[in-house]
C-alpha cells in the first residue's frame, strides 16, 4: 500500500522568495509550527533559510528545539508553560505576568517579545496592564535580567482586507509601542503582520512579518485564488500533493451497495476503485460527499462511507481504463486543490494541509 504526501521543495523555495520580496525592508520570519504545516521542518527549514528567511517562528518549545538544531537564524516560540525549563538560544514571547516573571528569574538573560492584546482576545497583556508590564520589563532589562526585543500581537481578520477591524488592531498596537517606549523600552523589533497582512498591508509590516501558509503555496485572502490552489496575482505554488496507489478495481452491477451502511448504490453497471486512505490517515468521513479523487486527470467521486483504511471511488463505465496500481490524487497539484476541498467541506485549507497523517509517508521532490 502506498499513501504519500509529495512535497515540492522547489515550490517551498519559490514561495519563500516571493514572501521575502513582499516583506520589503521588514525581516521575514518563516512560520514552521506543526512540523512546517505538515510539510516537514527537517527538509523545509534549510530550503527557507537558503531562499530568504531571516528567522523562524514556532508554537511550542519542542518545536523550537527541533528548529534550533537546524539553523543558526533566530527561532521564536510563543506557546510555552512557565513551568517548562527555558532553553537558551530561543526567543520567547511573554503573554502573561507569570511568563514574564519566569523569564526574569531565568539563570541567563533570555530574549523576549512582550505579547500585547489588540483585539484577538486569545492571549497577551490587556491594555490595563501595559504600564505595569512595561515598567517591570524596562527595570529588568536595565538590570540585565532580560532583553526585550519588541512587542508582538496577532491579527484576527486580516484575511478580509475590506474589514476595518485590522485598522482598529493596528491602532492599538501602535499605542502599545508608544507606551512601551515611554516606559524606557527600546522595542527595536515589533511585529503584527500574519500571512494575509504580509500581502495586503505593507503599512503594518513594522520590523518583521510572520507569514505561514503562503510558504506552502496557499493564498490566505478571502475569495482569492483560482480554485486551483494558486493565485495568479501572487504566483504561489502549492507544495503538497496527497496521493495514493489504487489498490483494486472492481466490476459491480446496477443497484449494488458500496461500503458500510449501504449508503450508496451503483446507478448502473460499472466499476469502482479502492483508494488506500481512510480516516485513520486523515480522510474525514465528512469529506465523502465533497471529495473527488483524480486519476489520469479525470475526477471521480468518493462513494459510500469512508472507512478507517480505505475509500471507494466510482469510475462509471471506466472509459479511461483505470487499473490497480495507478496513482490517485486526493488533493494537490494534478487534482482537487486544498483550497477547493476546504471550501467544499466548510473549513480552511490550513486544516486540509494538516490532515495527512497515519500511514502517510512523505516524499520530497
CATH number at residue 13: 3.20.20.10
Based on the domain organization, do 318 and 175 belong to the same domain?
no
Is there a domain that residue 283 lies in? yes
pLDDT > 90 in the chain, percent:
96
Based on the domain organization, do 207 and 244 belong to the same domain?
no
Is there a domain that residue 89 lies in? yes
Based on the domain organization, do 198 and 245 belong to the same domain?
no
pLDDT of 225 higher than 60 = no
Is there a domain that residue 232 lies in? no
Q: Any binding-site annotation on 122?
A: yes
Q: Average pLDDT of 212-236?
A: 75
Which residue in this structure is represented by grid cell 514572501?
A: 19
> Is this structure's pTM higher than 0.85?
yes
**Where residue 229 falls among pLDDT bands split at 50, 70, 90?**
very low
Q: Average pLDDT of 307-318?
A: 98
What is the predicted pLDDT for the residue at 193? Answer: 98
What is the DSSP secondary-structure string of 89-104? T-EEEE-SHHHHHHHH
pLDDT of 343 higher than 90 = yes
Give the single-character DSSP code of 165: H
Is there a domain that residue 141 lies in? yes
Based on the domain organization, do 187 and 83 belong to the same domain?
yes
Q: Which domain holds residue 254?
A: 240-364
Among 340, 336, 342, CA closest to 354: 342
Q: Which three cell numbers stand for residue 42?
A: 527537517
Q: What is the mean pLDDT of the chain?
A: 96
What is the predicted pLDDT for the residue at 66? Answer: 98
Based on the domain organization, do 268 and 185 belong to the same domain?
no
Look at the chain and report how many structural domains it folds into. 2
CATH number of the domain to which 255 belongs? 2.40.37.10
Quick count: other Cβ atoms within 10 Å of Cβ 241? 24
- Measured in degrees and rounded to the nearest 5, phi and psi for residue 352 equal -65, -45
Least confident piece of the model among 129-138, 217-226, 237-246: 217-226
CB 295 within 8 A of CB 326: yes
Is there a domain that residue 249 lies in? yes
d(CA 309, CA 57): 34
**Where residue 280 falls among pLDDT bands split at 50, 70, 90?**
very high
What is the predicted pLDDT for the residue at 227? Answer: 40
Is there a domain that residue 325 lies in? yes
Beta strands in 32-144 (DSSP E): 55-58, 75-77, 91-94, 111-115
- Residues serving a catalytic function are 33, 260
Based on the domain organization, do 23 and 125 belong to the same domain?
yes
d(CA 222, CA 161): 8
What is the predicted pLDDT for the residue at 349? Answer: 94
pLDDT of 344 higher than 70 = yes
Based on the domain organization, do 256 and 211 belong to the same domain?
no
Q: Average pLDDT of 193-222?
A: 96
pLDDT of 162 higher than 90 = yes
pLDDT > 70 in the chain, percent:
97
Based on the domain organization, do 348 and 255 belong to the same domain?
yes
**Where residue 224 falls among pLDDT bands split at 50, 70, 90?**
low
What is the predicted pLDDT for the residue at 360? Answer: 98
Based on the domain organization, do 148 and 95 belong to the same domain?
yes
What is the predicted pLDDT for the residue at 233? Answer: 82
Q: Any binding-site annotation on 308?
A: yes
Amino acid at each position: 500500500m502506498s499513501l504519500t504526501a509529495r512535497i515540492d521543495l522547489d515550490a517551498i523555495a519559490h514561495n519563500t522568495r516571493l514572501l521575502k520580496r513582499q516583506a520589503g525592508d521588514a525581516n521575514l520570519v518563516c512560520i514552521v509550527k506543526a512540523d512546517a504545516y505538515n510539510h516537514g521542518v527537517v527538509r523545509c527549514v534549510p530550503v527557507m533559510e537558503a531562499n530568504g528567511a531571516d528567522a523562524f517562528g514556532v508554537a511550542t518549545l519542542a518545536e523550537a528545539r527541533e528548529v534550533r538544531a537546524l539553523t543558526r537564524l533566530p527561532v521564536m516560540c510563543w506557546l510555552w508553560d512557565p513551568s517548562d525549563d527555558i532553553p537558551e538560544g530561543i526567543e520567547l514571547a511573554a503573554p502573561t505576568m507569570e511568563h514574564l516573571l519566569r523569564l526574569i528569574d531565568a539563570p541567563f538573560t533570555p530574549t523576549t517579545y512582550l505579547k500585547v492584546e489588540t483585539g484577538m482576545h486569545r492571549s497577551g497583556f490587556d491594555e490595563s496592564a501595559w504600564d505595569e508590564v512595561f515598567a517591570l520589563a524596562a527595570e529588568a532589562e536595565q538590570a540585565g535580567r532580560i532583553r526585550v526585543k519588541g512587542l508582538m500581537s496577532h491579527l484576527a481578520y486580516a484575511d478580509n482586507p475590506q474589514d476595518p477591524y485590522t485598522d482598529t488592531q493596528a491602532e492599538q498596537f501602535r499605542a502599545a509601542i508608544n507606551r512601551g517606549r515611554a516606559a524606557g523600552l527600546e522595542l527595536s523589533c515589533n511585529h503584527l503582520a500574519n500571512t494575509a497582512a504580509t500581502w495586503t498591508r505593507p503599512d503594518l509590516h513594522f520590523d518583521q512579518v510572520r507569514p505561514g501558509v503562503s510558504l506552502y503555496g496557499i493564498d490566505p485572502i478571502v475569495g482569492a485564488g483560482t480554485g486551483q490552489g494558486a493565485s495568479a496575482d501572487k504566483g504561489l505554488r502549492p507544495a503538497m500533493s496527497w496521493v495514493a496507489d489504487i489498490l483494486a478495481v472492481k466490476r459491480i452491477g446496477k443497484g449494488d451497495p458500496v461500503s458500510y451502511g449501504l449508503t450508496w448504490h451503483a446507478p448502473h453497471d460499472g466499476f469502482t476503485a479502492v483508494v488506500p486512505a481512510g480516516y485513520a490517515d486523515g480522510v474525514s468521513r465528512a469529506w465523502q460527499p465533497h471529495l473527488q479523487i483524480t486519476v489520469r486527470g479525470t475526477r471521480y467521486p468518493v462513494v459510500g462511507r469512508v472507512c478507517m483504511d480505505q475509500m471507494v471511488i466510482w469510475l462509471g463505465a471506466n472509459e479511461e481504463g483505470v487499473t490497480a496500481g495507478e496513482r490517485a490524487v486526493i488533493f494537490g497539484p494534478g487534482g482537487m486543490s486544498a483550497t477547493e476541498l476546504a471550501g467544499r467541506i466548510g473549513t480552511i485549507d490550513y486544516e486540509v494541509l494538516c490532515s495527512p497523517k497515519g500511514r502517510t509517508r512523505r516524499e520530497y521532490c
